Amino acid sequence: MRIRIPGRVALAAGALALLGATTAPGVAMAASEGSSSAAASPKPTIVLVHGAWADSSSWSSVMERLRKDGYPVRAIANPLQGLTSDT
């Protein structure tokens, strides 16, 4: 049996994995310091990068929800030009 994952689901999963990888060191550092200012610290900037056959505008609904929750968000344009130049 073969399970197919839609492109947007895979992109969202990748973005969440990237978010977790970038915020984990900061969370660990705040926890080890034992200060109560961790809740008052600014939220991390979330960077969303599109995959093939999409552009940065494909993140617009995700960006809207994240900004509503108070996160600074950036959608980076990744001009895909071809297999040789992109790898």
Copy the structure tokens of residue 54.
């999409």
Copy the structure tokens of residue 66.
């994240």
Q: Which of the pair, 61 or 15, is modelled with greater confidence?
A: 61
Q: What is the tens place of the pLDDT at every residue in 31-86?
A: 445 555 556 678 999 999 988 788 889 999 999 999 999 999 999 888 877 788 77
Copy the structure tokens of residue 56.
């940065």
φ, ψ at 40 (rounded to 5°):
-90, -10
Question: What is the Cβ-side half-sphere exposure of residue 23, based on CA atoms within 13 angstroms?
Answer: 15
In the prediction, which pLDDT does 52 show?
78
Q: In this structure, are residues 22 and 42 in contact, taking their beta carbons and an 8 Å threshold? A: no
In the prediction, which pLDDT does 43 show?
92
What is the reported pTM?
0.47
Residue spans per domain, the chain:
46-76
In the prediction, which pLDDT does 9 show?
54
- Angle at the Cα of 15 (from 2 to 53), degrees rounded to 5? 65
Q: DSSP string spanning 15-52?
A: HHHHHHHHHHHHHHHHHHHT-GGGTTSPPPPEEEE--T
In the prediction, which pLDDT does 32 show?
47
- Is the pLDDT at 28 greater than 80, yes or no? no
